[in-house]
Structure 1
Amino acid sequence: MNPHLQDLQPYPFERLAALKAGTTPPAHLRHIALSIGEPKHAAPAMVEQAMINAIGGLSVYPTTKGLPELRQAIAGWLQRRFKLTEGSLDAERHILPVNGTREALFAFAQACIDSSQPEPLVLSPNPFYQIYEGAAFLAGAKPYFLNCTAENQYRPDYDAIPAEIWQRCQLLFLCTPGNPTGAVMKLEDFARVLELADQYDFVIASDECYSEIYFDEQQPPMGLLEACAKLGRHDYSRCAVFHSLSKRSNLPGLRSGFVAGDAELMTAFLRYRTYHGCAMPVQVQQASIAAWDDEQHVEQNRDLYRRKFDAVLDILGDVMTVSRPDAGFYLWPQVAGGDDEAFARDLFNEQHVTVLPGRYLSREADGIPGAGHVRMALVATLEECVEAAQRIRRFVESRL
């Protein structure tokens, strides 16, 4: 077996299940899960219909590169959403469909890392999406964590990283808006990492799957390709962005997304994926075209999240240290006393509400930046989110 399998740590939800084992929540309270970022809003009807209409695609082998119509739909969406120069994004050269960002983020690291080099590193925010860590280990590299705390507005301080670390870096993961913090990178952040990538010769993988959940319609979060365009970097050199329909369109079960960026990177990644055997089914591609071509359902989705954040923060704002994130659908409150595991366990035991301890999303790196926080995913209905917030408030007040 691959010896690096031994490096993989238990997934956060495995740890959460162990934490809750032996508890007996009150049976008269329905369970409300705020622990997993699985959207619960209705899937768009036109996407479901597009899949039904394409059911004949079951008799056809899909190509790894995907339908030209899908890549064109993605290119059009990227140009509209991120204000890219007309013609700067070639659907033939710059875009690949993927079966959700999770598999693509993992696979991209396998394609990018040169494990023959001495002690290669994959840099990642901390707290983080655990796929980044697993991808690094199984590619023969080691993860190096960049702490994101309230003191740095949950955005890594790239200038604090020693030169010897950058010299070993082969891949830098960005997550903007951040999971779990909701922090959004600014143009100056992107400019700095691009400068560092050129200086030290590494690739930037920007996980942007939460980019379409934000609060101000006039100020959508910036993405890496948009930053490239603003900086005159129209070849997107060293850059790859990852987007998904899971959060944007409430389609986590569709397993549909894309990777886009540097044409040379896409050519190499396509070669890897051809052997990987990960072509997207044709009917999923047709459904994805319908989703990427429509913005009305996305705007309605954002409005639902705004209402939930308004209601929940109104209930919890004066009993917890919590604030509205820049974007995304997570709250990242601090817990009184700092014991996030005890908070999550006791909250479930007493109020039948599940949240995720922040330490489960972090690693030790001059401290555990997630410790003392819990992650709350406001993915349930407005009614359930309000009820959960009321129970959490009662739980917190019982300990004052």
Structure 2
Amino acid sequence: MNHNLQALHPYPFAKMSDLLANSKPNPSYSEIKLGIGEPKHEPPAFVLDVLQQNLDSLSRYPTTNGTFELRQTIAHWLEKRFFLHHVDAYKQVLPVMGTREAIFSFVQAVIDHSDNYSNNSDNHSEETSPPMVVMPNPFYQIYEGAALLAEATPYFVPCTLDNNFKGDYRSVPVEVWERTQLLFVCSPNNPTGSVMSLDDWEFIMRLSDKYGFIIASDECYSELYFDEAPIGLLQACTAFGRDDFRRCIVFHSLSKRSNLPGLRSGFVAGDAALLKSYLQYRTYQGCAMPIPHQLASIAAWQDEKHVAHNRALYKEKFALWMAELGDLLELRMPDAGFYFWVKVPELFAGDDEAFVKVLYEQANIHALAGRYLSREVNGKNPGQGYVRMALVASVEESREAIERIRQLLTGATDSK
């Protein structure tokens, strides 16, 4: 077996299973799941219709780079959504089977261990050291796992209240940037909901120019905003006159945008040179989206009405939680996404594991301990003391969850 597998951490949900292994939920309540970021809103019926109507095309092998119609649809969507001048559907777009596998395989394809690798740094002094992959902390664990299996060293940038939960990239040492081949950015961020500004993008793009690393932007939550649409990496490229998207790659998906996590449909877009090599890698990997999925994806990317309806539902639920629990929980309204990054109430002394256990045992509510989404840096885990709650349940279930949490917290306060 690959010896690097031993370096992988258990997935957050495996840690939660271990934590709750000897716990039993309150039998008086039905289960409410707020721990996993799986959309529960209804998927658009017209997309499912297209999928069903084209099942006969499963008799044909799909190509790795997808149909031109799908790539062109994605290119047009990118141009309209992010105010881009032109996206080349042939060279700058690649459909993928969901962004999770794409993020993983992209890292395997781009990390370079060869002796002649250069990241354009004038002061490169760590030629024999493993390359680095810089990522936010807390983070989507695929970033770390992909780096470890590519025999690269993860470097974690803490996302804390002090830096508006976006990460202070100015604090990263020069010697780290000199070894960095890939920087992951998640905007809107999972789990904190923070969004990168144009100034933030400009800063890391200038770092990329200086040190030669690739910027990979995970933008899977970009369409779940409340007021202003988040600025994406390619949009920032265009704003600074970089229409070739040099060393910049974005990942998008229909999972959250269109409530279609099981369709496994997304895309990678950006630098044509990077995508050319990545396509070759994927051809050998054998990843190709089935044709019915491609046709259904075209229908989904071409429609914005269902996305607006989706946003409205999340906006209603966030407003409900803020109004009904804002006096008992330290709720921070995210910039975008569908997560609350909740500070653990003082009653639990900052212990996120204890808080999620009580939520499960007394209220039959699943949440995720923040420490499981983070790694310790300089003796501190930035996720410790926080809990991630995904507002994926229905409005009715949200009302029920709010009432249970209110009873739990007020009861605990009264008995203290």
Residue 233 of structure 1 is aligned with which of 235, 242, 248? 242
CA deviation vs aligned residue, 1:4-38 (integer Å, no higher than 9, x gap): 10000000000001111111212120000100000
**Is 1:339 the counterpart of 2:334 in the alignment?**
no
State the secondary structure of the residue aligned to 1:332.
strand
CA distance in 2, matches of 1:24, 1:220: 41
Residue 214 of structure 2 is aligned with which of 188, 203, 218? 203
CA deviation vs aligned residue, 1:299-332 (integer Å, no higher than 9, x gap): 0000000111111111210111112100000001
Matches within 5 A, 1:12-161: 12-85=12-85, 88-116=86-114, 118-161=129-172
CA distance in 1, matches of 2:244, 2:102: 21
Which runs of no fewer than 5 residues in structure 2 stay unpaired? 116-128
State the secondary structure of the residue aligned to 2:412.
coil
Q: Counterpart in 2 of 1:357? A: 369
CA distance in 1, matches of 2:114, 2:352: 40
CA deviation vs aligned residue, 1:205-252 (integer Å, no higher than 9, x gap): 000000000101xx2001000000111111000000000000000000
**Is 1:398 the counterpart of 2:407 in the alignment?**
no
CA distance in 2, matches of 1:79, 1:45: 26
**Is 1:383 the counterpart of 2:393 in the alignment?**
no
Residue 263 of structure 1 is aligned with which of 235, 255, 272? 272
Matches within 5 A, 1:285-296: 285-296=294-305
Q: Counterpart in 1 of 2:360? A: 348
CA distance in 2, matches of 1:114, 1:91: 27
Aligned 8 A contact 1:115 1:139 in 2: no
Q: CA deviation at 1:187?
A: 0.4
Q: Counterpart in 2 of 1:220? A: 229
CA distance in 1, matches of 2:177, 2:411: 48
Q: Counterpart in 2 of 1:281? A: 290
CA distance in 2, matches of 1:115, 1:382: 50
Q: CA deviation at 1:116?
A: 3.7
Q: TM-score, normalised by structure 1?
A: 0.98
Counterpart of 1:387 in structure 2: which amino acid? E
Task: Give the paired residue count.
Answer: 396
Counterpart of 2:156 in structure 1: which amino acid? F
Q: Counterpart in 2 of 1:311? A: 320
Q: Percent identity?
A: 56
CA deviation vs aligned residue, 1:260-319 (integer Å, no higher than 9, x gap): 000000001000000011100000000000000000000000000011111111121011
Counterpart of 2:2 in structure 1: which amino acid? N
Counterpart of 2:31 in structure 1: which amino acid? H
Counterpart of 2:77 in structure 1: which amino acid? W
State the secondary structure of the residue aligned to 1:92.
coil
Counterpart of 1:140 in structure 2: which amino acid? E
Aligned 8 A contact 1:329 1:378 in 2: yes
**Stretches (4+) displaced over 6 A:** none
Q: CA deviation at 1:188?
A: 0.7
Aligned 8 A contact 2:26 2:360 in 1: no
Aligned 8 A contact 1:378 1:385 in 2: yes
State the secondary structure of the residue aligned to 1:15.
helix
Q: CA deviation at 1:398?
A: 2.5
**RMSD of the TM alignment (CA)?**
0.8
Counterpart of 2:137 in structure 1: which amino acid? N
CA distance in 1, matches of 2:221, 2:133: 22
Q: TM-score, normalised by structure 2?
A: 0.94
CA distance in 1, matches of 2:302, 2:11: 35
